[in-house]
Amino acid sequence: MKKGTCSVFAVLLLSVFVGGLLFAGGATETAANPELRISWWGATGRDEKYLSIIEEYGKLNPNVSLTPEYAGWADYWGKMATLVAAKNLPDVHQYTNNQLGEYFAKGAVVSLESYVKSGVIDLKDWNQGMVDSGRINGDLVAITLGITAPTMIINMTWAKELGIDIFAFNESMSWKEFANWLKTDVQPKMPAGTYAFGDYSKDENYWWTWVRQNNAKWVDDKGNYAVPVAVIEEYYAYMEDLRKAGVAPPLAFTVEDNAKARGDNAFNTRKMLIRPTNANQAKLEQQFMKVKGDEVEMRRLPHREGASTSAEALITSAMTIASNSKFKDEAAKFINYFVNDPAAQKIYNGEIGVPGSIKVQEMLKPNLNKVAAQEIDYINMIATGAPPTEPKPAGIWAFDAEIQQMHQLVASGQMTPRQAAEATIERANKFLASFK
């Protein structure tokens, strides 16, 4: 091979290295100028908020180098799986309590107790229930950016026109009372082709709440699925009973409705009076109501017979510090700034849910619309005195999609609720075996 040709190749290869390195990160990190990587999920509107807050923090701390990393919801988790395996998680990153248990078990995050005790992360004026949403086995590992919870949203204007009395904001019925109320007081007053209540099968947080209400554990000591078959059967049977009574829509309607864009769904277009959803969706649904003047309100989920509370699952989206972070102290300072600083929270404006700080809630509330303000009241109401929401063990979150599929098998008549419940446990144990 001629020397000239070898040189060509060498130059080519070198240019690749140089070209690639030109685009590489890698500022020199020292304790005096820490470099924090901060990641989140979302899309443009949310990105702009995070980037603004990061910029503000950077102005106050010019020695800190801040690198944002963001992706859409599904892509975020695809990346996280790779990053946790390489022990290269961003210093500050987020979870919901659907995934937190799984990543905690992998040693991905550190305890934040010492930072709270020393006051670096100040949670003194926080709703305790919201603080506790970030605990695993009693240890605080995540600070909530916002809490949401399952709710049912109601088109109050339409209900009034139809002469339907809706129970008060701070009340709830038992599941049996709720079903009877829908069948006898609500559906008879609904126009033909419309439904009193939506199908809760796609709402994994309804399922989570159902499990909580029954005091069931997700997995036993051996790692097997521990939700009793009777509990699962009742969950499927309840919805099937509402479908058969004509109170909830049939499967085909639900599948089509779930695929519709916001603004065209059954709730927005007066085909459904009460819709199961999460509290942080209420203000978005209000925005897209087709009939001008239709007002949306939230109500609590039904409770178990004889129970004093509906024990709704508190769904947190929370910030954590990576165990591989070299700048944990700085990361803690950043988290404190993000969740407590009035300027930061004004920018964030309850983006992902109701903030845990009461001071921040009071600061934001006057500028919120009616539904968003009610969201704060709703979350505070259900969070106060709520039993702890234990994050899900590894594999449970991924398995939740099976519950919706089982509902569809029951709704299409292919399985009875009992058969579906037994199949759920069988599938769950096969699935969880891969996580052992």
Partner 1 sequence: MVVGERKNHFAQTIRFILILAVAAITMYPLLWMISSSFKFEQDIFQQLGLIPRNMTFENYINGWKGRGGSFSLYFKNSFLLVLLATVGNLVSCSLAAFAFARKDFRLKAVMFALMLGTIMLPQHAVIIPQYVMFFKLGVSNSMLPIVLPKFFAVESFFIFLLVQFMRGIPQELDQAAIVDGCNAWGIFSRIIIPLSQPALVTTTIFSFLWTWNDFFPQLVYLTNPKLHTVSLALKRFVDPDVLPAYGQMMAMSTVSIIPILILFALFQRLLIEGISTTGLKF
Shortest Å, Cβ 254 to partner 1: 18
**What sections of 352-395 are H helices per DSSP?**
358-364, 370-383
Helix ranges, 86-185 (H): 100-105, 113-117, 128-132, 156-162, 175-181
For the bound state, the minimum distance from the C-beta of residue 68 to partner 1, rounded and expressed in Å, comes to 7
Nearest CB to partner 1, comparing residues 187 and 280: 280
Alpha-carbon distances of 292 from 268, 279, 287, rounded to whole Å: 11, 22, 10
**Integer angstrom CA distances of residue 375 from 95, 276, 391:** 21, 15, 22
Select 82 or 308, whichever has its Cβ closest to partner 1.
Answer: 82
| Residue closer to partner 1 (CB basis): 24 or 168 | 24
Q: How far is the CB of 395 from partner 1 (least distance, A)?
A: 18
**Among residues 5 and 308, whose Cβ is nearest to partner 1?**
5
Under DSSP, is residue 231 helix (H, G, I), strand (E, B) or coil? helix
What single letter denotes the amino acid at residue 162?
Answer: L
Q: Residue 9 or 384: which CB sits closer to partner 1?
A: 9
Q: How far is the CB of 46 from partner 1 (least distance, A)?
A: 7
Q: Which is nearer to partner 1, 88 or 369 (CB)?
A: 88
> Which residue number, 26 or 413, has a Cβ lying nearer to partner 1?
26
CA distance 109 to 89: 9
We find the least distance from the C-beta atom of residue 3 to partner 1, in angstroms, to be 11
CA 194 to chain centre: 29
Q: How far is the CB of 370 from partner 1 (least distance, A)?
A: 21
- Burial string for 270-292 (b: 16+ CB within 10 Å, else e) reads bbbbbbbbbbbbbbebbeebeee
Q: Which residues of the chain form contacts with partner 1 (CB under 8 A)? A: 1-2, 5, 9, 12-13, 16-17, 19-21, 23-26, 37, 41-48, 67-75, 78-79, 81-83, 85-86, 88, 261-262, 264
Tell me how far apart the alpha carbons of residues 279 and 345 are, in angstroms, rounded to a whole number: 19
| Cα 110 from Cα 322, distance rounded (Å) | 6
Nearest distance, CB of residue 130 and partner 1, angstroms: 21
